[in-house]
Chain A
């Protein structure tokens, strides 16, 4: 019987989930609304789908497999036929489910700001609670150096060494292999690294979404700005220092280009009125997205007022970005107030994103120097991920 059983298994093997993997997708050139998708198939067959590096969706095994076929460009009839051989299901039902799922995905990709829970019957997953194998974003501090010490965007200088271009490329490879869809280059001032353009190009080649967090001074050089754009930069977060005329000039230049830009403002003690003025100025310039944070949680009311003003000016709010005082963003403070300081609801550091120091050390977030998770250059990814903060 044992021989028979072995014989049986060899000839008629059971079906298994698709192997783990990471699959980027970019809509074809000329698409009415360009989109980026990243599908991460986990070892247990479930999937993670990230739309435009911002909308995070968790897929059951069937949905993951269907979207895998979509990304691979498998013709519908072949995808359905293939899946029918792998699942105990009637072919017509599978075909119908497949069409419905892809229609929903297409609608989501085509319609800005569509709320998928209400309009597409998706379920809702509380942020940062799912069991995942890698974060959604890696914040890479290329250098501690800044254009101006007074800018206030430099992190605490914890290490001395800066990695070489090749070393950063190795780390980008590791990030991609781990299934991390987005990398934000930050600092210090990342534009001070002469190899920034090389690294952007490398990330683009891999299929990563790349962002840049900058004070903006170097972006007032049109030639440099164009090089960034031509080498695959996907979005810019400008940490605006209102007194720096160069930053305003740079912003004007960036807005003239076809790239998503968000401007960050920090609400501090006594600058509430100035923030309102700046928001109006930014709206007039054509800024469509802002990031807001407060230097202290006590400024929550001023922050909320700024948020309301921004929405009144039809500017979108972005949050959870590696900006100064990022933990005190409007959504986090609102959720904290609601959840009674339950940080699980508001803090994705170490889970949804990780921070990499200029020497390759991995922290849950900027400033958490006491929680080094390992070296992205030296350590294997699973070892690093295993040391993430447990909440």
Chain B
């Protein structure tokens, strides 16, 4: 009884083997790595009940793959005849056609000197003229006197192949069958959403079904099949059930294997081992058969660095404190001779008449906001300026990488400092500082850095310093060269080698003047609470995204825009990306 159960189980299994004609075609070397650009399979059920199979492969070997020297093709059963198999590569006949040494049921074709080299293409054509024992008595209740068959085309181990395959499979029925007589089974695993084949009659009066997919997998295991009236093939070509003969090659040179004998001899002895092995494979082996896991990864399409931002816009995307950004705007409009500071504390300005050309919109809006007398209204107006600045910058950043752009402007800032620090004389150092001030101000440690660079020596003040510092302006009235009025003069060599007098301040005083401008703006204009000022801005520009569960960490998790700003005065532009 036990033997009977086991026998049935194995018969069922062997039935599956017989009905699914294909096998794993393997590549014979570990380093094979190729594409199957296209595959055309023609399966013909002959009048004598045998099956003919015709494969046309277009291979492209990858640059890193080993030369393709052998191609293994699985066959539905071992009952094929080697002498009835032909093959060619790129039209050149292949003589090496043997029983495969790599796969259990199938053949190998050796490409020899025509092996497909790395990076090259090759068309391999294999015609298997006759495979026996492929038809079975139809067991469904909806039809009588029908025979059925299944066919799984050759496929390759997924570790050897890449890309997709443009695949066409045609099944041709014996001559004489009418279009209404055959039936097909919906292909299993077929990637195309439409499993209905193209139906027609070929030039040899054979009814055929054709399936096509442009995105099949060369490692895909697709099962096709059909049934047709038994009267069109000899009765002895139809099997009632799979028999041991399925595994006996008609080629005398190949092996012979008989299940009945096997079971008769050692089934009982193998049973316990088989059970243990099954349990092992179900539990432990299943893990090996799973795919390698790589953490999920998403790459978004976008351009890299956004160039052409102003220093103020760069400060926005670098999330600089709002009071520093306003001070940068202030210095910008002073340098352009658009305003003069009339009082430092509280800060008041006087616009130039007429206004110079070339102001950025946010500079014009800043001047207008600063002219508002009521402190509360002025604060609101400045918030509006800042919201506009963030939105404008955001628009300009769209499609570009924020991360790479920030890194780019950080590099500009560092190179600006390097220019200042490497200057050989106080005059050149001061001149470089003036030229690069808007970029050095992007430094998060601008205050300390400025003090370090300038403490201990004189600073030759820039021409616009008088328009920024009313006290300095009133105490120094006669401009010298292209620099502003000097508190004192020193005889210096210019970079062009000439000698002239330049106004200067003690370095520590100058550094304090710049840095205090920032804190003074915070206290005098923003009411000493830049955090509250910023909140009003970020509420408009960065409404807090809906947050979901965050009870876990890891995975490198993203941060939301709203929590991106650690500092209270941060602008949190949240610019860029996506369209």
Contacts and interface: CB of A to CB of B under 8 A. Distances in A.
Interface of A: 1-3, 5-17, 19-21, 42-44, 49, 51, 54-63, 66, 85-89, 94, 96-101, 103-104, 106-108, 110-111, 113-128, 130, 133, 177-178, 304, 307-308, 310-312, 314-319, 331, 334-335, 338, 345, 380-382
A119 B574 contact: yes
Given A15-B289, A338-B307, 11 more contacts: A6-B17, A44-B163, A59-B298, A60-B296, A100-B557, A107-B558, A120-B298, A122-B299, A133-B164, A334-B307, A345-B303
Contacts of A49: 298
A30 to B, nearest CB: 15
B556 A121 contact: yes
Contacts of A106: 546, 548
Interface in B186-245: 189-194, 212-217, 219-221
Interface string B539-574: 000000110111010111111110010000000001
A316 B23 contact: no
B402 A310 contact: no
Given A3-B257, A13-B289, A21 B193 contact: yes
Interface in B252-311: 257, 281, 285-305, 307-308
Nearest to A314: B391
A297 B221 CA distance: 53
B294 A115 contact: no
B377 interface: no
B420 interface: no
Contacts of B399: 319, 331
Given A19-B189, A117-B401, A97 B103 contact: no
Given A63-B297, A100-B552, A124 B217 contact: no
Contacts of A1: 104
Contacts, number: 280
Contacts of B104: 1-3, 5-6
Contacts of B214: 133, 178, 380-382
Contacts of A133: 164, 214-215
B164 A20 contact: yes
B191 A20 contact: yes
A119 B542 CA distance: 13
B437 interface: no
A381 B192 CA distance: 13
A54 B579 contact: yes
A16 B217 contact: yes
A208 B304 CA distance: 29
A130 B301 CA distance: 9
22 contacts: A3-B247, A15-B290, A17-B291, A20-B191, A44-B164, A55-B301, A55-B579, A57-B300, A63-B296, A89-B293, A100-B552, A104-B558, A114-B545, A114-B561, A115-B575, A119-B558, A123-B297, A133-B164, A133-B215, A310-B395, A338-B305, A382-B166
Contacts of B219: 16
Nearest to B395: A311
B62 interface: no
The B contact surface, by secondary structure, is loop
Contacts of B401: 115, 117-118, 124
A9 to B, nearest CB: 6
B554 to A, nearest CB: 6
Contacts of A6: 17, 23, 103-105
Given A44-B164, A100-B554, A117-B402, A62 B295 contact: yes
A97 to B, nearest CB: 6
Contact of B574 (A51, A113, A304, A338): A113
Interface of B: 13, 16-17, 20, 23-24, 103-105, 158, 162-166, 189-194, 212-217, 219-221, 247, 257, 281, 285-305, 307-308, 361, 388, 391-392, 394-399, 401-404, 406, 545-546, 548-550, 552, 554-561, 564, 574-579
A19 B298 CA distance: 20
Nearest to B190: A19
Identify the 5 closest CB pairs spanning chains A and B, nearest first: A115-B577, A43-B164, A2-B104, A120-B558, A63-B296
Contact of B293 (A3, A56, A88, A345): A88
B166 to A, nearest CB: 5
B220 A122 contact: no
Contacts of B289: 12-15
Given A43-B216, A113-B577, A338-B307, A96 B165 contact: no
A116 B191 contact: no
B81 to A, nearest CB: 19
Given A6-B105, A110-B546, A114-B578, A16 B158 contact: yes
Contact of A113 (B296, B394, B549, B552): B394
Nearest to B20: A10
Contacts of A319: 399
A11 B549 CA distance: 41
Nearest to B101: A2
A98 B217 CA distance: 26
A331 B301 CA distance: 14
Contacts of A99: 549, 552
Given A54-B578, A126-B304, A103 B549 contact: yes
A108 to B, nearest CB: 8
B574 A115 contact: yes
B316 to A, nearest CB: 13
Nearest to A131: B163
Contacts of B576: 113, 115, 118
A76 to B, nearest CB: 11
B163 A113 contact: no
B296 A7 contact: no
A266 B281 CA distance: 67
Contacts of B397: 115
B296 A66 contact: yes
Nearest to B194: A177
Contacts of B247: 3
Nearest to A32: B546
Given A119-B564, A335-B303, A338-B307, A14 B398 contact: no
Contacts of A317: 395, 398
B303 A62 contact: no
A111 B290 contact: no
A104 B286 CA distance: 31
Contact of A116 (B163, B300, B361, B388): B300
A8 B274 CA distance: 12
A119 to B, nearest CB: 5
Contact of A62 (B257, B294, B398, B546): B294
Given A44-B164, A331-B399, A88 B291 contact: yes
Contacts of B302: 117, 124-125, 127
Nearest to A33: B546
B220 A16 contact: yes
Given A19-B189, A59-B298, A89-B293, A42 B164 contact: yes
A9 B219 CA distance: 13
B163 A123 contact: no
B300 A96 contact: no
Contact of B13 (A7, A42, A85, A122): A7
A129 to B, nearest CB: 9
Given A312-B361, A380-B212, A59 B292 contact: no
A304 B307 CA distance: 12
B163 A63 contact: no
A304 B309 CA distance: 12
Nearest to A337: B307
Nearest to A84: B290
Given A21-B193, A115-B402, A335-B303, A123 B298 contact: yes
Contacts of A8: 281
From B166, B287, B395, name the one whose CB has the most chain A CB atoms within 10 angstroms.
B395
B429 to A, nearest CB: 32
Contacts of A115: 397, 401-403, 574-578
B549 A94 contact: no
A308 to B, nearest CB: 8
A315 B103 CA distance: 64
